[in-house]
Structure 1
Amino acid sequence: MTDWLAPLPNDTQQLVLDEVAGRVDAGHCRSPVGLLRSLATRACQGEFNATQFAQHYAALTEKGKAAREEVRALVGRVRRP
């Protein structure tokens, strides 16, 4: 599977993965592996366009990342007896 994404730049790889994850989360995908292959092929041909599914999933993961960093910062400030 990683061979499908290997020729693509890192940012395009992430967009393809976010698109697949977003569609799976939304229940719009029966075959995640098939979708990944199809979207990676399109991306290699310059025909891939990320949709709202990728944007939504990327926003969710950024929120999660920010929340985890905030928790780490708070935990770091707690003094241990």
Structure 2
Amino acid sequence: MKRNPMDEAIAALQIAPVQTVLMSASAVIAVVLYGMDSRWFTIPLLIALISGCLVWRATPAMIQAANKRAKARHRYPY
């Protein structure tokens, strides 16, 4: 049973939805603020870093959920 990136993304959103969305959104905001030459880009960058650490801590549970999803999708489970 092979995991695909969609299994991993869905598992991340199931296990840590707030942290995943917050990390993604604040990273995009930091890049936009940096492109506008704003000095406030460090705040969303720190938020993205903290959220990324929280997502990293939830990685083992995400891997188990992705494996379970891939196994359920497999036609012959044994």
Q: Report the TM-score, using the length of structure 1 for normalisation.
A: 0.30
Q: Relative contact order (C-alpha < 8 Å, sep 6+): which is higher?
A: 2
- Name the one with the larger helix percent: 2
TM-score normalised according to structure 2 size: 0.31
